[in-house]
Chains A and B, each alone.
Chain A
Amino acid sequence: MAKKSFFKKHSEALKRATLQGLMIVVVSVVTLEATSLLQYYFSSRSITEEANRRAEGHLKATELQILSVTDQVETAVRNTLWSVQHQTGKPDSLAAITSRMVSQNNVIYGSAVALIDKDIAPYSFRNGEEVSLSTLATQEYDYRSQEWFCKPLELGGGYWSEPYYDEGGGGVIMTTYSVPVMVKGKPVAVFTADVSLDWLTELVGKVKVYPNTYNFMISRSGRIMVSPAETLVMRHSIQEVAQKSDGSEVFAGVGEAMLSGQAGDTQLKYKGKMLRVFFDTISRTGWSMSIIIPEDEIYGESKRVGFVVLLLQILGVALLIVILYSTVKNQRALKLASDSKTRIEGELQAASDIQSSMLPKTFPPFPSRDDIDMAAAIVPAKEVGGDLYDFYIRDEKLFYCIGDVSGKGVPASLFMAVTRSLFRSVSNHEHSPAKIVTTMNDSLSESNDASMFVTFFCGVLDMKTGHMVYCNAGHNAPIALTDRIGELPVDSNIPLGIMPGFAFTEQEADIRYDDAIFLYTDGVTEAENIHHELFGEERMIKVLHTRRSASEQMACVADAVREFRGEAAQSDDITVLFIHYLGKDESGDNVLRINFDNDISQIPRLEGFIEEVREATGIDAGLAMSLNLALEEAVTNVMMYAYPEGSSGSVNLKAILREECVEFVLWDKGIPFDPTAAPEADTTLGVEERAIGGLGIHLVRNIMDSISYENKNGMNILTMIKNIK
């Protein structure tokens, strides 16, 4: 269930991350595109404006150049007109004038003076380097019907003819400027100057607003004067072209606009391409010029830039997606990594829990025994380690051990578990610590592929005598708390698991009542503070100097280490085992024992115990009953006051039989309670005044010869002595 909800949670988180990534991409794209569109809009507007400016500029420049030519012709004509007016009667002179016109003005191709009244029309024209003379007054030509002749007379002023193709004059496009020659207010002749328009083709044709623009020039009537398609020139009119083209209407429209003498610009579609047409009409001649620019030309650059920008954007977005994807993936990988780390830590915790659950954890471990006070604990480091301790009592002997497996983590933990179970199984049928350790070593060395080892101390304490046999296999020497405090002397045996067949040696010691053995792992002495100083044995022994109960002693050491370590991390397991020996009464007298659970229904068992005492001491039945009564009162008191109702606990009683007295020692590990502090019951009071309670301790006091209470080593100890001799 937990796994499922974990994956669900996980996938939700992933979905969220993916969604966030998508959002980032979408917002980025929208922002980018909006910016690009705006930029495109403004830039294309400015490009259009730029195109207009350029086209108009070119048109104006071309117009000016054309005007400079026409002006030149018109000026030449005007300046010569005076001579013509005075020479109308002299045909030879007129021929000379026309000849001069041509020779003196480079732009003028030919010049004629055609008389109205007479058939006289001398015409000079450029013939290579020479200027030749001819006459227009021929029967075939009939100059009087020609446009150049009629129009100026009709208009009464200068007139630029429609361009025409001069067959006789060298096959060039020409136009003629003609003015009426007035004598005394009457027109007498028409004076003309022909202008070759081949320069016009060059002039107009070379106007290149953009690399691929097309320039047209049409005459007043729509005749095409300049065109990139040379076949059209002079042969067709704009109207004819319009009819042939796909976008005839548009062409026609443009043509109309051009012919109406307007300036402006328009758009048209030709052969699937959008074209932009700028046009302007040149005053005087009535010619209209247009520049046709394909929109590709105008916007081509910006489109190319736009394309590059778009490409860059796509690239950028793709990059963004890749980055986001890898970020999400990394996060997922990170999460997975942290998940698996958490899982491993969880497993290690479980391993640690299993490890510690294998060790005796209930303290006091032997609640019914008054001869031993023990406490032990492993304060595990963050990483599961391989510390162990164990103890149990068999055949009135305390088997105990402490060990520290090399290394950390699961392997150490497993090795520790193996070591501990070996200790249990081997010591179960063996009393000698050296033999226990040797057997364990052989077993551990045999199957030790991981080259692990464990430092180990094993002791066997005879609870009755205080005689202790022990074997140290490379572990820290325990601290013996006897009359003095110091290391227990230990032989230098090697740790377990290194060398099979190693013969371990054991040592012996005798401890007495109230002596203690403190066993520890190097997690205590090698605890480091932030300055990398070690806690050390000296500090540890200083703590041990004050005599306390086992559990208090252990707590004090742990506190001292914690305080010393401060902010620094605990790098190793801290394991301590404290054995406080309270056995072997020094008197050496006979001792009888009885233990009760916290249950008054067990009170009748006292009778049997008293019977034992009576048999051992030979006291009479009356005294026996009195002792029974006193002890019942004392035991009941403990059951009533030391242990809260319903709690379990042990009430222990021993009778130390001496020559002249019996010493009853009653102890428990319940709430400190001193029965001797209870006020003396007044037995002289009458019925009404007598209290119901308080009789018990009164009886104890009356029956026993002495009674004393102390709270020691976490125990209530009531000592009652009855003299029997």
Chain B
Amino acid sequence: MEVKITEQDKTLVAQLAGRLDTAVSQEVSAQLQPLVDNADRTLILDCKDLEYISSSGLRIFLTIRKAAAAKGGKVIVKDISTEIRQVFMMTGFLNLFEVVSSAE
């Protein structure tokens, strides 16, 4: 699991690659802390290379989303796979996040 955060015009982009399972969730959570800290801005979770996410990963997403809601920021989930989209569907996350595709 790799996490890479970049800043583009006050927008924070976190590129997630690999499997976000319980084993790595704590580490990833720490790595994504800058997004929680800057939740007043636009935050992009780039999931183009995210292969897998479990509930612990979803929990991190939700934490960021809650922070943004509190600080007036915005969270965009970008390029999720079909499988993860299914998970988002199952968990109602599609209603909570602005899910975009770069193809669109």
Give the chain B neighbours of A607 by CB distance below 8 A.
Answer: 19
Instruction: Give the interface centre of A603, A607, A683, A695 by most chain B CB atoms within 10 Å.
Output: A695
A702 to B86 Cα, complex, angstroms = 11
CB proximity to B under 8 Å, residues A667-712: 681, 683-688, 690, 692-693, 695-696, 698-699, 702-703
Instruction: Give the interface centre of B21, B55, B65 by most chain A CB atoms within 10 Å.
Output: B55
User: Is B90 a contact partner of A687 (Cβ separation < 8 A)?
Assistant: no
Set B22, B53, B55, B82: member contacting A622, Cβ < 8 A: B82
Instruction: Say how far B40's CB is from chain A's closest CB, in angstroms.
Output: 15
Q: How many residues of A contact B (CB 8 A)?
A: 31
Q: How many residues of B contact A (CB 8 A)?
A: 25
Instruction: Give the interface centre of A622, A629, A698 by most chain B CB atoms within 10 Å.
Output: A629
Give the chain B neighbours of A168 by CB distance below 8 A.
Answer: none
Instruction: Say how far A75's CB is from chain B's closest CB, in angstroms.
Output: 153
Give the chain A neighbours of B100 by CB distance below 8 A.
Answer: none
CB proximity to A under 8 Å, residues B21-63: 21-23, 52-56, 58-59, 62-63
User: Is A603 a contact partner of B21 (Cβ separation < 8 A)?
Assistant: yes
User: Is A629 a contact partner of B63 (Cβ separation < 8 A)?
Assistant: no
CB proximity to B under 8 Å, residues A596-619: 600-604, 607
Asked whether B76 is an interface residue with its Cβ less than 8 Å from the other chain, the reply is no
Sample of 18 more A-B contacts, CB < 8 Å, known A632-B22, A632-B54? A600-B22, A604-B21, A622-B83, A625-B83, A626-B83, A626-B86, A626-B87, A629-B87, A633-B55, A636-B22, A636-B54, A636-B55, A681-B91, A687-B66, A696-B54, A699-B90, A702-B90, A703-B90
User: Is B22 a contact partner of A690 (Cβ separation < 8 A)?
Assistant: no
Instruction: Say how far A694's CB is from chain B's closest CB, in angstroms.
Output: 9
Set B19, B54, B65, B86: member contacting A687, Cβ < 8 A: B65
List the A residue with the shortest CB-CB distance to B59. Answer: A692
Which 7 residue pairs spanning A and B have beta carbons closest together? A683-B92, A695-B55, A603-B23, A696-B55, A702-B90, A687-B69, A625-B83
Asked whether A213 is an interface residue with its Cβ less than 8 Å from the other chain, the reply is no
A636 to B59 Cα, complex, angstroms = 14
Give the chain A neighbours of B21 by CB distance below 8 A.
Answer: 603-604, 632
Instruction: Say how far B7's CB is from chain A's closest CB, in angstroms.
Output: 24
User: Is B87 a contact partner of A699 (Cβ separation < 8 A)?
Assistant: yes
List the A residue with the shortest CB-CB distance to B94. Answer: A683
Give the chain A neighbours of B19 by CB distance below 8 A.
Answer: 604, 607
The interface bits of chain B over 78-90 (1 if a CB of A lies within 8 angstroms of the residue's CB, else 0) are: 0000110011001
Asked whether A406 is an interface residue with its Cβ less than 8 Å from the other chain, the reply is no
User: Is A698 a contact partner of B91 (Cβ separation < 8 A)?
Assistant: yes
Set B23, B53, B55, B86: member contacting A604, Cβ < 8 A: B23
The verdict on A603 contacting B96 (CB below 8 Å), with A622-B86, A692-B63 known, is no
Instruction: Say how far A623's CB is from chain B's closest CB, in angstroms.
Output: 9
Asked whether A628 is an interface residue with its Cβ less than 8 Å from the other chain, the reply is yes
Asked whether B95 is an interface residue with its Cβ less than 8 Å from the other chain, the reply is yes
A688 to B62 Cα, complex, angstroms = 10
The verdict on A601 contacting B23 (CB below 8 Å), with A626-B83, A684-B92 known, is yes
Give the chain A neighbours of B23 by CB distance below 8 A.
Answer: 600-604
Set A604, A626, A695: member contacting B91, Cβ < 8 A: A695
The interface bits of chain A over 631-658 (1 if a CB of B lies within 8 angstroms of the residue's CB, else 0) are: 0110010000000000000000000000
Give the chain B neighbours of A687 by CB distance below 8 A.
Answer: 62, 65-66, 69, 96
A299 to B55 Cα, complex, angstroms = 120
Give the chain B neighbours of A633 by CB distance below 8 A.
Answer: 54-55
Instruction: Say how far B75's CB is from chain A's closest CB, in angstroms.
Output: 9
A688 to B71 Cα, complex, angstroms = 12
Set B52, B65, B69: member contacting A629, Cβ < 8 A: B52
The verdict on A692 contacting B62 (CB below 8 Å), with A607-B19, A632-B21, A683-B92 known, is yes
Give the chain B neighbours of A600 by CB distance below 8 A.
Answer: 22-23
Set B55, B63, B95: member contacting A684, Cβ < 8 A: B95
List the B residue with the shortest CB-CB distance to A699. Answer: B55
List the A residue with the shortest CB-CB distance to B65. Answer: A687
Give the chain A neighbours of B96 by CB distance below 8 A.
Answer: 686-687, 690
Give the chain A neighbours of B90 by CB distance below 8 A.
Answer: 683, 698-699, 702-703
The verdict on A699 contacting B91 (CB below 8 Å), with A600-B23, A629-B52, A636-B22 known, is yes
Instruction: Say how far A611's CB is from chain B's closest CB, in angstroms.
Output: 13
A636 to B53 Cα, complex, angstroms = 14
A451 to B81 Cα, complex, angstroms = 78
Give the chain A neighbours of B91 by CB distance below 8 A.
Answer: 681, 683, 695, 698-699
Instruction: Give the interface centre of B22, B53, B62, B87 by most chain A CB atoms within 10 Å.
Output: B22
Instruction: Say how far B69's CB is from chain A's closest CB, in angstroms.
Output: 5
Interchain residue pairs with CB less than 8 A apart (9)? A629-B54, A629-B87, A683-B90, A683-B92, A684-B92, A687-B69, A690-B96, A695-B59, A702-B90
A632 to B56 Cα, complex, angstroms = 10
List the B residue with the shortest CB-CB distance to A623. Answer: B83
Instruction: Say how far B71's CB is from chain A's closest CB, in angstroms.
Output: 12
A686 to B62 Cα, complex, angstroms = 11
Instruction: Say how far B86's CB is from chain A's closest CB, in angstroms.
Output: 7
Give the chain B neighbours of A602 by CB distance below 8 A.
Answer: 23
Instruction: Say how far B85's CB is from chain A's closest CB, in angstroms.
Output: 10
A373 to B51 Cα, complex, angstroms = 39
List the A residue with the shortest CB-CB distance to B96. Answer: A687
Give the chain A neighbours of B66 by CB distance below 8 A.
Answer: 687-688, 690
